[in-house]
A and B are shown apart, each in its own frame.
Chain A
Amino acid sequence: MARSPMPRADLWAGTGFLALGAATAAESWRMPRFAQLEVNPWSVPGLVPGLIGVVLLLLGAVLMLRAVREGALRPGAGLAGELGFDAERRRRTLLALLLTLGYAVGLVGRLPFRTATFLFVFAFVALFRIERDMARGLLLRELAFAALEALLVALAVGFVFERLFYVRLP
């Protein structure tokens, strides 16, 4: 199967991998060598991460060069175009990211698990359903269903993990 070229994305990613590889190699070089303990120099902790850093740097450089050869610096579809991120996909991805990160980083651990889960599931279902069904005027029904689902999920997940499998919840 032919590879679908995405030179701009590859150029960015290649630069990132090159930088990551270089940083890893440099940090590995700075790791202790325990010379005062007369440790065998081939057993030092920085050896393998350093080599991995160098390989990553080289692979990143190859990716960058290939991207440039494939036209990363010439005018073209742009990064979003290459990855197929049209306005609708961008909006959906951002909404999903906002909701999930809000739950996992913002709510969990700060609110009781069941409350946090209820709020998250309700917001997720409601916002995505409303986005789809707004034109059909199903708003109230959708909100009620979203609330019911959120309540059931919050209670059921709590029950299954805590009572059936004795697993601690956040």
Chain B
Amino acid sequence: MPGGLQLFLEALSGFAEPATLASVLWATLLGILVGMMPGLTATLGVALLTTLTFKMPAGDAILILICMYVGAIYGGSRSAILLNIPGTPANAATTLDGFPLARAGQAGRAMGIATAGSFCGSLIGMLMLVLVAPVLADFALAFGSYEFFWLAMFGIVISGQLTAIDDPLKGWIAGFLGLLVAMVGQEGIHAYQRFSYGITELSGGFGLLPVLVGAFGFAEILQVMKQPAYEVVRNAGGRILPRLAEIFRYRRTIVRSGFIGTLMGLLPGVGEDIGAWGSYAAARRASREREKFGKGSVEGLLAAETGNNAAVPGAIIPVLTLAIPGSAPAAVLLAAMFIHGIRPGPLIMIEFPSFVYEVVAMVLLASLAILVLGLALTRPLLYVLAIPRERLMPVIFVLCTVGAFAIASRLFDVWVMVGFGVLGFLLREMKYPMAPLVLGVVLGPILDKNFRRAMVLSDGSLEPFFTRPISAVLALLTLISILAAIPRLRTATLRLAARFGGGRAVAGGGSGPGS
């Protein structure tokens, strides 16, 4: 692909300026800090930085946001290893082997391995981004209203199922709540203001950023403050620089986790957490040292950290090619692209081919930055974990308030942030995942417009939804996802598979969070 390579090199040389490189460093460092601090997630970090950078040129702003995104997903491994608390939900699998390693006096080694895994994961995801994005964009040119409707529906179903793997019903409810939230305000065909009841501020609907800052920022603050105190460990024992031989020894695990992470990122609204869990479960199944998993396995730690960082470029692929986010932080990135006048979607390779390669170059720069900063600043970064949460959380809430206000300069958005924060807190307490809700808010207008357009085109017939080839495949995938989530049907299917497949490969069917 000489054209692509040339565009990539041009993008890279365009970024080789001191001011840009300085932005890469500060944004990635800020991302690592955000990821490290329990209560601050990648989604909130990207959302707050979107409000801070919306007056910058588009390229600079997106670069800063991608650095924040990559940095935060990586940074969460620090608190996972040292505190046994995942800094972001994406690092939950990291705690399983990271914390036992730290407890055994090998925290430095664990952090070095996590850094290497995150770097490799980002690189694999980046390569997949280069290879898959143009092909997917080309393929998506054949998508019509029927296909976009099913894509949105599949996104809600698969995101609801995979982010609440032990209770998909709650995942789906969260997804449909998100869709309902998106229905408020002026609709796109007749310009009718739904559910506005004469309130001027509601006529444009709820802003995505205030909703996100509430559901991911304020809700998290309440959850963190609810908990009684936790013990802070400051221990960086062991060699920090990872040994190349150790990394090379697990090359298969790295490559496998990179692929699984990217795939999970690609699926709408599934994202980094499932990228890590999926990679971890696959690594354990394939490992010759299975008994070490959960007790300080280097392979398990590598798999989790490679998987979650590979999901970052993976989640950017559908953002660029379909305008559908692969994860919650990617949803904010998508919103930021719209704010800056970039129109992602199937036409991106025709309208802005250079932008896709600029994004690839941005991911590369962010990956290099986590490698350099992660290894060079291991010990100084530990001091951040010692900041008491009662000192940190009010500052975060001030940032949430300013962030919600900044985009439209409306106090109403601050109230929206507060409302969705309280709602998000209650839903989280009852174990409803937030990612499908966010995806629903993003996909609502796509689903609405395309369903009605498709129905008008077919004059009310549902047939084309199931007979057009791509539509039929997406419909089938949606149906399979729903059926697979119904416990009795899943058990029966596994039993049948065991009978006809000789009992192989069925035992791992229940892999997922906690496995």
Contacts and interface: CB of A to CB of B under 8 A. Distances in A.
- Answer yes or no: do A and B interact: yes
Contacts of B418: 100-101, 104-105
Nearest to B178: A52
A9 B427 CA distance: 10
B172 interface: yes
B435 to A, nearest CB: 17
Contacts, number: 181
Nearest to A66: B169
A151 B177 CA distance: 40
Contact of B398 (A9, A17, A47, A157): A157
A96 B222 contact: yes
Contacts of A10: 430
Contacts of B187: 45
Contact of B391 (A42, A53, A149, A166): A149
Contacts of A97: 222, 422
B267 to A, nearest CB: 20
B173 A161 contact: no
Contacts of B192: 31-32, 45
Interface stretch (B248-256, B305-313, B452-460, B470-478): B452-460
Q: Chain A, interface size: which category? A: 35 or more
Secondary structure class of chain A's binding surface, majority of residues: helix
Contact of A108 (B53, B176, B394, B411): B411
Contacts of B169: 59, 62-63, 66
- A39, A52, A120 pick with most chain B CB within 10 angstroms: A52
B374 interface: no
A135 interface: no
Contacts of B172: 59
A147 interface: no
A92 interface: yes
A55 B335 CA distance: 27
Contacts of B280: none
A2 B406 CA distance: 42
A89 B226 contact: yes
A69 to B, nearest CB: 13
A170 B405 CA distance: 7
Interface stretch (B102-110, B114-122, B507-515): B507-515
- B169, B172, B398 pick with most chain A CB within 10 angstroms: B398
A104 B414 contact: yes
Nearest to A149: B391
A117 B405 CA distance: 14
A103 B399 CA distance: 12
B228 A108 contact: no
Contact of A168 (B221, B409, B431): B409
Interface in B448-468: 448, 451-453, 455-456, 459-460
Interface in A32-53: 32, 34, 39-49, 52-53
- B195, B401, B452 pick with most chain A CB within 10 angstroms: B401
Contact of A45 (B190, B397, B429): B190
Interface of A: 1-4, 6, 9-10, 13, 17, 20, 24, 27-28, 31-32, 34, 39-49, 52-53, 55-56, 59-60, 62-63, 66, 83, 88-89, 92-93, 95-97, 99-101, 103-105, 108-109, 117, 120-121, 124-125, 128-129, 132, 149, 153, 157, 161, 165-170
20 contacts: A1-B512, A2-B166, A6-B430, A42-B455, A43-B455, A56-B173, A60-B173, A63-B173, A83-B430, A97-B422, A100-B221, A104-B415, A109-B414, A124-B394, A125-B394, A128-B225, A129-B390, A132-B229, A165-B52, A170-B401
